[in-house]
Amino acid sequence: MRLTGVIAALLTPVMLGLLVATALSQPAPPTCGAGGGATVLQLPGGVTFALNPGGCVNGHVPRFELGGGVTGSGSSGSSNPPPPSRPGPNPIPQPVNLLALDLAIRQSNARRCLTQMGFVCAPSPSAPGRLNERSTRLDINWLVTQLGQDAVQDAALPNIQLRANPDPGITGIPTWFWVDPVSYGGQAFSYTVAMPVQWTEYWDTIEHHHDVSSGPCADDPIQTCTTTHDWDELVDHQQEHTDHVSVTATFSPVQFAWDFGDDRQSWRPESHASFADLKGMGQPYVDPHTPSPVAHNYSESSLNSFDQGGFPIHLSVTWTATATWHFTSDLGDNASGTRTFGARVGQYALRHQVRESQPVIVAAAP
C-alpha cells in the first residue's frame, strides 16, 4: 500500500528551542535564522515572540527579571554576603503568559510538519506542567483521507464477462447482451485497509533544584556558613505511541453504459445504451420469450472487422465508493465515521461477429 511506505519515512520534527530575551529597547523581536518569514505572536503586557520556520523562537519581554536567588546565614546567627550564583545545567527564566506561547509553538509544529515532510500533523494536546509540546502524530482527518483514497484505488474490480445471443448475430434480428452472472451478480463489494501508525510525543518540563551546602565562612573560617541555591532546569521528555486506523470502502453499481460497436464511421445514438440500475446487466438467454433489456439490432454484418473478431462490444460499469473508518490509539482515543470518495469505472469488452442473411429463392417442387 502506497501510504505505508510514505509513513515509514516520517522523521522526528525539528525540536523548537525556547529562547526568551531580557529587556530590549525595541518592541519588535529580531529575525531568527536565515530566510525570515517568522510568525509574530503578540501577548499582553508588550510581550512579543517570533516563531521562525527554521525552528527557533525570539522574544521581547519588557522589564523581565530572572527568578530564583541566593541567600546565606551563619551558624552563629550572623549574616554573610551571598556567594556567586551557581546556575544549573540549563537555567531558564519564568516565561510570561506561557500557555499562550505553548499553544503557538504546538500549532507551529503542526504546520511545519506539512511543509517539511508532506504530512499533515495534529497539534499536540496541552497537559498541565508541560512546555513546548510537539509530536509526529498525523492528523486523523488527513490520514483517513489518504487511506480511503488508497482503498478506492487499490480495490480489485469484478472480472466481468460479457455474453451474447445469437452468437454469431444475424442482421435484422436483435442480439441480446448480458453480464455473465457467474462473473458478477450486481452486488456491492468491499475492500478494507488497516494499519498501525507509530508516532512520538515530545515535551519539556521545568524542574526546580534546591541546593544546600555548608562550609567555612569567607570572612571567618572558624565559623560555619550554610548557603542555599535555587535554579530551574529545562528537561526534555519523549514517549512512543501507536494509533490504529482502518478504512473499509464499499462499492455500489450506479451505471451500465454499452457500446455495440457498429458506429465506427459515424456516431449513432442507437449504437449506445445506458442504464442507471441493474437492468443494465442484461438478462441471460433462457428462451425466446424472455428478452434481455440490453439488445441491439445490427443493420450490417461485421465483415469489415472479421479479422479482429467482429464488432467491438464495450461495457463501462461505474461504482460509487463510500468508506467507513474507525480509529483507536493507546491513549484511549476512539472515533469512527463515514466518507464518500470518487467513483471507480471498470471497462469490459467482447468481440461479436454478425452475419448478413441473404434471401434464397427455391423453386417449388412440381
**Three-class secondary structure assignment of 78-103:** CCCCCCCCCCCCCECCCCCCHHHHHH
In Å, the largest CA–CA distance within the chain is 157
pLDDT at 187: 96
The owner of cell 480509529 is 327
Q: Any residues with CB less than 8 A from the CB of 117 and at least 6 apart, and which?
A: 9, 10, 11, 13
Grid coordinates of 96: 510570561
Grid coordinates of 192: 478494507
Reply yes or no on whether the pLDDT at 74 is more than 60: no
pTM: 0.62
Host H or E run for residue 247: strand 224-259
Number of residues that this document lists for the chain: 366
Q: How far apart are CA 147 and CA 197, in angstroms?
A: 12
Grid coordinates of 258: 454499452
Q: Per residue in 3-59, pLDDT tens?
A: 554 444 443 333 333 333 333 233 344 444 444 556 665 555 555 656 555 555 555
pLDDT at 102: 58
For 8, half-sphere exposure in the C-beta direction (CA atoms, 13 angstrom radius) is 6
- Cis check: omega of the bond before 166, within 30 degrees of 0: yes
C-alpha 303: how far from chain center: 54
pLDDT band per the 50, 70, 90 thresholds, residue 234: confident
Q: How far apart are CA 344 and CA 150, in angstroms?
A: 12
Q: Any residues with CB less than 8 A from the CB of 41 and at least 6 apart, and which?
A: 48, 49, 50, 51, 100, 101, 104
Using a pLDDT cut of 90, give the percent of the chain over it.
42
pLDDT at 132: 79
Grid coordinates of 217: 565562612
Task: Using alpha carbons, select from 250, 226, 246, 231 the residue that is nearest to residue 321.
Answer: 250
Least confident range of 32-46, 115-129, 344-358: 32-46
The one-character DSSP state at 330 is T
